[in-house]
Structures are given as structure tokens and as C-alpha cells.
Amino acid sequence: MTITEFNSNYKSIENLLTGFAMKLTKNRNRADDLMQETVMRAYKNRDRFRDGTNFKAWVTTIMRNSFINDYRKQKTRNRVEQPVEDVINLASSAIRKEEASSNIMMGELNNIVSSLSDTYRIPFTMFYRGYAYLEIAEEMKLPIGTVKSRIFFARKQLKEKVESRYGNNVLEAI
């Protein structure tokens, strides 16, 4: 399919695609993003379009698949074992009554975090400071799945180290 043919076919169904995107997302901004993603994928793969095939069905299938893939990514992206704040604030929430003890515990917790290898400490610390998974992945030049995995294992290691030093009572106090 030539660029001119693609543009012509796309213009003829643009309003229909906009409506379909709104129906799927129920949000104007997300519908616009879905439209852009669909057009980019369809344009990039226009050489795969076969003459005699229904262009509208082909593009709406691309849109539906893009929506489903994005939905699945969002669903798994936000799943965490335990919030980062719970791990970091273990000591301070368990010993708030005594300021001095709390400061000592926070210092010890910072030492525990510092004892992690750079592989786990850096992404964990960045996530704790408010960076999104994608930002960490871009900064460290790693796949987003690797970043999520490292943060997960950092949490797990921190939890084990805190439990081994202070027992399960500290974790149950949260």
C-alpha cells in the first residue's frame, strides 16, 4: 500500500476510529493516545496490508489489540508486593515514642539500604525518591522489567535483613 492510498483510506475512517477509541478508553486523552498508537502501527505495517482486505477491519483490529496490550501492561505495572514506604518506615513507625531511638533506627535502616549491592540499591533508592519505573529504566539504560525485578528483590532483601535484626514484631507493627 502506498502512502497516498494509506492516507486516503485512513481519512475515510478517521471519525469511526475516534468513536471506537472513545468507546474503548472512555477518556478523551487516552483515546487520542490510542488513535496515535494505532495510526503509527498501521502506517509502519502498511506493507503487510493485502489488497482486497477490509481496511477498516484491519485498522480497528490493530486498535483493539493495542488497547488490550496497553491494558495488560498497566494492570501488571502497578502491582507491587509491599509499598516501598512500608519497608523504609519500618523502624520509625515502630518506635515513634522515643525520638532518639527513632533516629538511631533510621540510621541503622539507612545502613541496611546502603549494604545492598548497587545493582539493587540504585533502582530502589530512585523509586523511593519518586522516580517512575520508566524513568529509572531510561536513566539506567535497562529494560523496565529488569528495573521492576531489581526493586522487588531489593524490598525482599531489606525485609529479610530487618526481620533478622529486629524480628517479626517490627514488621507486624506496620
Residue 103's alpha-carbon distances to 5, 16, 59, 173, in angstroms, are 69, 61, 59, 18
DSSP 50: P
Distance of alpha carbon 37 from alpha carbon 63, whole angstroms: 8
- pTM value > 0.85: no
Distance of alpha carbon 10 from alpha carbon 135, whole angstroms: 34
> For each of the chain's 174 residues, which pLDDT tens digit applies?
788 888 888 898 888 988 998 998 888 888 888 899 988 998 898 888 888 888 899 999 999 998 988 888 877 765 555 565 565 565 555 555 556 556 666 777 778 888 888 888 888 888 888 888 888 999 889 898 999 998 999 888 888 888 887 776 555 544
Model pLDDT, residue 93 = 55
Model pLDDT, residue 159 = 85
CA-based nearest residue to 157, from 116, 114, 129: 116
DSSP 89: T
What structural domains does the chain harbor?
Answer: 3-77 (1.10.1740.10), 84-172 (1.10.10.10)
The cell 493495542 sits on which residue?
Answer: 66
Model pLDDT, residue 64 = 92
Model pLDDT, residue 174 = 44
Distance of alpha carbon 79 from alpha carbon 140, whole angstroms: 21
Distance of alpha carbon 91 from alpha carbon 101, whole angstroms: 9
Distance of alpha carbon 24 from alpha carbon 16, whole angstroms: 12
